[in-house]
Amino acid sequence: MSVAPTRAQRLASGAGIGAHRHDDHQIVYAGRGVLGVSAGSGSWIAPATRAVWVPAGTVHAHRAHGELELHLVGLPAGDDPLGLREPAVLAVGPLLRELILAYTSAPHDGGPERGRLRAVLLDRLRVAPQRPSHPPVPTAPQLVRLWEILRADPADDRTLAALGGQVGASSRTLSRLFKADLGMTFPQWRTQVRLHHALVLLAEGTPVTVVAHRCGWSSASAFITVFRRVFGCTPGAYRGSA
């Protein structure tokens, strides 16, 4: 293992950092573009309104969706503002965003100013709400097959009964599995799958109307409404900042 770096760097679209782990905790944040983080327990997509918490010792990898401005904040294992043993996605408001940008670009001189900046950053991390930014990956075999179908085509709008005919289970059985395995309904989960795919398409410069169509919304306005409710901004505003 190694010390988790604190730095800012750029990654071209499609580039990545292979699987690795650190002795320290790490905050991973995309100032521009969309960040993909994968670890043993799942994969996350994080736009500029989200950061990913990676606990010490977690094997993880990064991938850029769109031109990525990556900001990494390493925190010694003894500095754990969240008390989490698994990766998590945190909401990043304007103040936390500026703190992350400042901390990763300021001189690493250990002076009192940097110490104060670090203290405020830790304070804001402690109160940052956790936000889901990836669809939970099912484990039940029937749901895994359903996951493969919708991951290949998020716009597939068949009913659960119709999809059940393809995966070999009734809609009643699948509904029960969704509650037991993922703790949510099929419509809730499908919306998360679609939003996950939409973030990647937006980072690649795909027009909002095309993203809405490819991800299964009946209209651009319906997509914008859902996107704004989940991420706090419109897809157009998000893409302009990405």
- CATH code of residue 206: 1.10.10.60
Same domain as 110, residue 65: yes
Same domain as 117, residue 155: no
What is the C-alpha to C-alpha distance for residues 225 and 188, in angstroms, rounded to an integer?
Answer: 15
Range of the domain at 175: 141-241
Same domain as 211, residue 159: yes
Residue 1 belongs to some domain of the structure: no
pLDDT digits (tens, 9 = 90+) for 10-26: 999 889 999 999 999 99
**pLDDT-wise least confident of 37-46, 49-58, 157-166, 201-210:** 37-46
Q: Residue written as tokens 């936000």? A: 131
Q: Residue written as tokens 């597939």? A: 156
Residue 36 belongs to some domain of the structure: yes
Element (H, E) at 43: strand 42-46
3-state class of 23 per DSSP?
Answer: coil
Q: Are 206 and 216 spatial neighbours (Cβ–Cβ below 8 Å)?
A: no
Residue 35 belongs to some domain of the structure: yes
Domain boundary among 63, 97, 126: 126
- CATH code of residue 89: 2.60.120.10
Same domain as 108, residue 40: yes
Residue 77 belongs to some domain of the structure: yes
Predicted confidence (pLDDT) at residue 240 exceeds the cutoff of 60:
no
Residue 134 belongs to some domain of the structure: no
What is the C-alpha to C-alpha distance for residues 122 and 99, in angstroms, rounded to an integer?
Answer: 10
Domain boundary among 79, 103, 126: 126
pLDDT digits (tens, 9 = 90+) for 117-163: 999 999 999 999 887 656 777 889 999 999 999 999 999 999 999 99
pLDDT digits (tens, 9 = 90+) for 184-197: 999 999 998 999 88
pLDDT of the residue at 3: 74
Domain count, the chain: 2
